Amino acid sequence: MSATPPPVIVLVRPQLGENIGKAARAMLNFGLTEMRLVSPRDGWPNPDAGPAASGADQVLEAAKVYDSVAEATADCAHVYATTVRKRGVTKPVVGPDEAARAIHAAPGRSAILFGPERSGLGTDDVAIARTILTVPINPEFGSLNLAQAVILVAYEWSKGIALAQPPAVDIDPPASQEELDGLIAHLDRLLDQAGYFFPPDRTPTTRRMLRTLLTKPGWDAQEVRTMRGVLSTIDRPRSRD
């Protein structure tokens, strides 16, 4: 478990409340809760953010608004600017994995800047950062939406902390050979009655193929019972009256 404070996610001049909500959802998925907004275009709070956050209300409710990037990052010792271009600024460039390791290792709070949806961070925004954070991406289509960018960075940071895994689901034991043989014999009888096995000289090969098909997946007992029910219904259709 990292002893370093989680990074602050700073959305610089975000345009749509919906995108702010989606970014909050991405943050909370991976354990980040502190969002700071720099001059959101449509003001704050924004009624469109809540529904898009899908339950990440605690992030939105605690979000703070600032007039400038400098104010939003004043208490942070490390500031990363996410951009696909260096914009003429000579600074160290790292990927999300390297940035995550540095954030966990370095003392003090870190901030990660994300720019407006349409244009990204400006040169003056990047100039405030100490490090540029960029994602290797298809040079023919370098377009990430705001929430996608946040979730990439948040996911890499989350690798350094202990997050709960989804609950394990018990797997039913595999069906016994007797149960499988019963299923295969049931199907074989129905197919024989329907004239499926033709021509006769191909019958052994066809039966072998069906057996291979039905034993390959490793059916459990419930699946076998379900399939037997299907075959029984085909064999003796229920009245629709």
pLDDT < 50 regions, the chain: 1, 240
Domain boundary among 130, 158, 186: 158
Same domain, 68 and 28: yes
* Residue 172 forms part of a structural domain: no
CA 194 – CA 188 distance, rounded (Å): 10
Same domain, 46 and 90: yes
Residue 114 exposure: Cα atoms within 13 Å on the Cβ side: 29
Q: Cβ(140)–Cβ(42) under 8 Å? A: no
Domain boundary among 158, 191, 220: 158
Domain boundary among 91, 123, 158: 158
* Residue 168 forms part of a structural domain: no
Same domain, 13 and 97: yes
Domains of the chain: total: 2
SS3 8: strand
Structure tokens given for 236: 């003796």
- pTM metric for this prediction: 0.69
Same domain, 99 and 212: no
List CB contacts of 241: < 8 A, sequence separation 6 or more.
none
- Looking at residue 80, which CATH number applies to its domain? 3.40.1280.10
Q: Cβ(115)–Cβ(80) under 8 Å? A: no
Q: What is the pLDDT of residue 1?
A: 45
Same domain, 94 and 191: no
Same domain, 58 and 99: yes
CA 23 – CA 82 distance, rounded (Å): 14
What is the per-residue pLDDT across 24-42, written as a single tens digit (0 to 9) for each? Answer: 999 999 999 999 999 999 9
* Residue 21 forms part of a structural domain: yes
Could you tell me the sign of the dihedral formed by the alpha carbons of 147, 83, 98, 6, in that order?
negative
Neighbours of 11 (CB within 10 A): 26
Same domain, 152 and 195: no
Same domain, 192 and 224: yes
Helices (H) and strands (E) in the chain, counts: 10, 7
Same domain, 98 and 210: no
Q: What is the pLDDT of residue 67?
A: 97
Same domain, 93 and 187: no
Q: What is the pLDDT of residue 144?
A: 82
Q: Cβ(100)–Cβ(159) under 8 Å? A: yes
What is the 3-state secondary structure of 149-177? HHHHHHHHHHCCCCCCCCCCCCCCCECCH
Same domain, 47 and 145: yes
Same domain, 184 and 122: no
Q: What is the pLDDT of residue 219?
A: 77
Task: Supply φ then ψ for residue 130, to 5 degrees.
Answer: -95, -20
Q: Look up residue 11 and give its amino acid.
A: L
Host domain of residue 49: 8-158
Q: What is the pLDDT of residue 5?
A: 92
